[in-house]
C-alpha cells in the first residue's frame, strides 16, 4: 500500500516552494504539490512548454509554443528523462527517445586501464579530476559523449603528450594516434557492457511467467534492446 501511495503521488507531483510543514523532516525542503488534471497530460520529449506556479494568478499554469489544431492531444514534457527513468517513474517508454544514455562507470574505466597497463595513471586521474572531466561519462544515440572520449584520450597519452595534454586532446589531426588508442580502450569497456546486456536479456527471458504483465515484459525487453543499440552505435 505504501509503494502504491508513493507512486500515485510521485508521478503526479510538481515542484512548488511552500512553507515547511511541522510534520515533515527539515532535512529536505517541502517542494512537492499535486496539481489537479495535470496528470491527464501525456509526455512528449519534444514538447515546447513552460510550466510553474504563477503567484499573480495563484494558479499552476502551463503554456506551450507548439501549434495544435482543434481536438489534437496537447503534450507536456516531464523532463529530459531516459526511457529507463520514464519506465521507473511513470511506467512507459517513448520510441526514439533522444535522452537515452548508457552510463560508463569510473571503476570500469580503471579496469580497462589496468587491462591495457596504462602508464602514469595516477597523474592522469589527478589531471582529469582537477579539470572536472570525470563527469557525464556516457554513451548516447550518437556514440561516446564528448567528456568520455576526452577522458579516454588523456588516459592513452604517452608522457610527452601528457605535458601538452590540452593541445593533444583537442587536435585529432596533429596527433592521429590518439583517437584509435582511445577507441581501443572504449571498445574493451563496451564489450564488457554488451556481455552484461546479453545476460540481462537471457535473465528476463528466463524469469518470465504467465502471471507477469505482458506490457511490462515488453518494456523490459525494449530497455535492454535500447541499451544494446546505444552500445553498438558507440563502437563505430
Residue 214 banded pLDDT, cuts 50, 70, 90: confident
Residue 70 banded pLDDT, cuts 50, 70, 90: very high
Task: Give pLDDT, residue 232.
Answer: 95
Task: Give pLDDT, residue 230.
Answer: 95
- Do 54 and 114 reside in the same domain of the chain? no
Choose the final residue of a domain: 79, 110, 131.
Answer: 79
- Do 51 and 110 reside in the same domain of the chain? no
- Do 107 and 60 reside in the same domain of the chain? no
Task: Give pLDDT, residue 100.
Answer: 92
Report the chain's mean pLDDT, rounded to a whole number. Answer: 87
Q: Which residues pair with 74 in a beta bridge?
A: none
Indicate whether 86 belongs to any domain.
Answer: no
- Do 149 and 226 reside in the same domain of the chain? yes
Indicate whether 10 belongs to any domain.
Answer: yes
- Do 37 and 112 reside in the same domain of the chain? no
Q: Is the pLDDT of residue 28 over 80?
A: no
Indicate whether 89 belongs to any domain.
Answer: no
Q: Is the pLDDT of residue 24 over 70?
A: no
Task: Give pLDDT, residue 219.
Answer: 85
Length of the chain: 236
- Do 196 and 147 reside in the same domain of the chain? yes
Task: Give pLDDT, residue 25.
Answer: 67
- Do 186 and 110 reside in the same domain of the chain? yes
- Do 194 and 121 reside in the same domain of the chain? yes
Q: Is the pLDDT of residue 189 over 80?
A: yes
Task: Give pLDDT, residue 71.
Answer: 92
Task: Give pLDDT, residue 26.
Answer: 67
Residue 204 banded pLDDT, cuts 50, 70, 90: confident
Task: Give pLDDT, residue 32.
Answer: 76
Q: How far apart are CA 151 and CA 112, in angstroms?
A: 13
32 phi, psi to nearest 5 deg:
-105, 140
Indicate whether 181 belongs to any domain.
Answer: yes
Indicate whether 45 belongs to any domain.
Answer: yes
What domain range is 34 assigned to? 2-79
Q: How far apart are CA 28 and CA 5, in angstroms?
A: 20
Q: Which range, of 58-67, 84-93, 98-107, 130-139, averages the lowest pLDDT?
A: 84-93
- Do 65 and 111 reside in the same domain of the chain? no
Task: Give pLDDT, residue 37.
Answer: 80
Section 130-139 average pLDDT: 92
Task: Give pLDDT, residue 169.
Answer: 76
Indicate whether 22 belongs to any domain.
Answer: yes
Task: Give pLDDT, residue 233.
Answer: 93
- Do 12 and 46 reside in the same domain of the chain? yes
- Do 46 and 135 reside in the same domain of the chain? no
Q: How many percent of the chain have pLDDT more than 90?
A: 46
Q: Is the pLDDT of residue 210 over 80?
A: no
Indicate whether 107 belongs to any domain.
Answer: yes
Count CB neighbours of 204 within 10 A.
15
- Do 64 and 124 reside in the same domain of the chain? no
Q: What tens digit of pLDDT does each residue of 140-168 get?
A: 999 999 999 999 999 999 999 999 988 88
Q: Is the pLDDT of residue 17 over 90?
A: no
Number of domains forming the structure of the chain: 2
Indicate whether 12 belongs to any domain.
Answer: yes
Amino acid at each position: 500500500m505504501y509503494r502504491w501511495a508513493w507512486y500515485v503521488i510521485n508521478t503526479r507531483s510538481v515542484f512548488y516552494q511552500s512553507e515547511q510543514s511541522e510534520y515533515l523532516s527539515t532535512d529536505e525542503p517541502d517542494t512537492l504539490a499535486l496539481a489537479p488534471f495535470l496528470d491527464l497530460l501525456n509526455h512528449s520529449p519534444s514538447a515546447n512548454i513552460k510550466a510553474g506556479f504563477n503567484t499573480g494568478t495563484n494558479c499552476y499554469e502551463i503554456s506551450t509554443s507548439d501549434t495544435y489544431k482543434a481536438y489534437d492531444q496537447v503534450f507536456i514534457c516531464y523532463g529530459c528523462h531516459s526511457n529507463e527513468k520514464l519506465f521507473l517513474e511513470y511506467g512507459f517508454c517513448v520510441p526514439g527517445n533522444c535522452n537515452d544514455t548508457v552510463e560508463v562507470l569510473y571503476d570500469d574505466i580503471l579496469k580497462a586501464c589496468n587491462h591495457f597497463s596504462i602508464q602514469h595513471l595516477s597523474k592522469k586521474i589527478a589531471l582529469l579530476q582537477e579539470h572536472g572531466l570525470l563527469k557525464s561519462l556516457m554513451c548516447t544515440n550518437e556514440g561516446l559523449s564528448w567528456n568520455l572520449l576526452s577522458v579516454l584520450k588523456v588516459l592513452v597519452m604517452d608522457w610527452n603528450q601528457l605535458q601538452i595534454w590540452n593541445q593533444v586532446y583537442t587536435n585529432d589531426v596533429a596527433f592521429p594516434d590518439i583517437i584509435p588508442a582511445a577507441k581501443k580502450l572504449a571498445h574493451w569497456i563496451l564489450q564488457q557492457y554488451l556481455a552484461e546486456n546479453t545476460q540481462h536479456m537471457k535473465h528476463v527471458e528466463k524469469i518470465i511467467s504467465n502471471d507477469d504483465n505482458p506490457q511490462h515484459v515488453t518494456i523490459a525487453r525494449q530497455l535492454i534492446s535500447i541499451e544494446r543499440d546505444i552500445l553498438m552505435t558507440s563502437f563505430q
